[in-house]
A and B are shown apart, each in its own frame.
Chain A
Amino acid sequence: MTFVSSDKDPEALTITMVAEFDAPVEEVWKVWEDPRKLERWWGPPTWPSTFVRHEFREGGQSRYYMTGPEGEKSAGYWTITAIDAPRRLEFTDGFAGDDGEPLPDDVPVHGVVTFEENGGRTRMTSVTRFADAEQLEKLAAMGMEEGMREAMSQIDAVLAGDSARVS
Chain B
Amino acid sequence: MVVDQLSDAEVDAIFHALADATRRDIVQRVMREEQSISALTENYTMSWAAVQKHVSVLERAQLITKQRRGREQVVHGNAETIRRAARLLDAYEQIWVERFQRIGDILAEPDPQHENERKKGTR
> Which of A10, A13, A23 has the most chain B CB atoms closer than 10 A to its own CB?
A10
Instruction: Tell me the A residues contacting B by CB distance below 8 Å.
Output: 1, 3, 6, 8, 10-13, 15, 17, 19, 21-23, 27-28, 31, 37, 40-42, 44, 124, 126, 128, 130-134, 136-137, 139-144, 146-147, 150
CB within 8 Å of A: which B44-61 residues: none
- In the complex where A21-B103, A40-B106 touch, is A11 in contact with B27 (Cβ < 8 A)? yes
In chain A, what residue has the closest Cβ to B6?
A137
Task: Report the number of A-B residue pairs with Cβ-Cβ less than 8 Å.
Answer: 118
- B8 interface hit (Cβ, 8 Å): yes
Q: What's the minimum C-beta distance from A4 to chain B, rounded to whole angstroms?
A: 10
Measured between beta carbons, the chain A residues less than 8 angstroms from B108 are 22
Contact B107–A139 (Cβ < 8 Å): no
Measured between beta carbons, the chain A residues less than 8 angstroms from B99 are 41-42
Measured between beta carbons, the chain A residues less than 8 angstroms from B86 are 8, 10
Contact A133–B11 (Cβ < 8 Å): yes
Q: Given A1-B103, A40-B106, list of 16 further CB < 8 A pairs?
A: A6-B96, A8-B90, A10-B18, A10-B85, A10-B89, A11-B27, A11-B28, A11-B82, A17-B93, A17-B100, A22-B104, A124-B100, A128-B96, A140-B3, A141-B91, A143-B94
Measured between beta carbons, the chain A residues less than 8 angstroms from B24 are 11-12
Contact B93–A8 (Cβ < 8 Å): yes
By secondary structure, the B interface counts as: helix
Give which listed residue, B15, B105, B111, contacts A132 with CB less than 8 A. Answer: B15
Instruction: Tell me the B residues contacting A by CB distance below 8 Å.
Output: 1-3, 8, 11-12, 14-16, 18-19, 24, 27-28, 82, 85-86, 88-108, 111
In chain B, what residue has the closest Cβ to A2?
B104
Measured between beta carbons, the chain A residues less than 8 angstroms from B91 are 140-141, 143-144
Contact B18–A15 (Cβ < 8 Å): no
Q: Give the complex CA separation of A28 and B107 in angstroms.
A: 7
Measured between beta carbons, the chain A residues less than 8 angstroms from B19 are 13, 131
Measured between beta carbons, the chain A residues less than 8 angstroms from B106 are 31, 37, 40-41
Contact A41–B12 (Cβ < 8 Å): no
Q: List 22 A-B contacts (CB under 8 A).
A: A1-B101, A1-B107, A6-B93, A8-B93, A11-B28, A13-B15, A17-B97, A21-B107, A28-B107, A31-B103, A41-B103, A124-B103, A132-B15, A133-B12, A133-B15, A136-B88, A137-B2, A137-B11, A139-B92, A140-B2, A140-B92, A147-B94
